[in-house]
Amino acid sequence: MKKFMEIKDFFILENGRRVIIGCYDFLEFKSKTEIKSQVGNEVIIMKPSGSKVRVNVESVNITMSLSNTINVAIELSLESSKDDMPRGSFVFV
């Protein structure tokens, strides 16, 4: 299990799917394909309290900001709730 990113935001799409957003801030450069494959089909969310939640991944969207920050949006399965992933939680892959 490897720490991937900190959750900076969370929202629910019209179709009911949950999306978490964070920044991929590792120093080594990876392509979008490499980052998506690193995420895989499942992630573990570790809350600030230390408790963990295992969640299935539906899709991954990666964008590059003007400041060369890699922003990652992970669309999660429906069984997750906002309480499962508060800001400040970490995503492990």
In the chain, where the domains are located: 3-80+88-92
pLDDT at 82: 66
pLDDT at 72: 94
pLDDT at 70: 87
Q: Is 42 in contact with 61 (CB distance < 8 Å)?
A: no
Helical H segments across the chain, by residue range: 32-39
- Residue appearing with tokens 């990652």: 72
- CA gap 89, 6 in Å, rounded: 6
The third-level CATH classification (topology) of the domain covering 3-80+88-92 is Elongation Factor Tu (Ef-tu); domain 3 (2.40.30)
pLDDT at 13: 85
- CA gap 25, 33 in Å, rounded: 16
Note down pLDDT in tens along the chain; length 93 residues.
Answer: 899 999 999 988 888 788 999 988 765 667 888 889 999 999 999 999 999 989 899 999 999 888 778 899 999 986 666 666 788 899 999
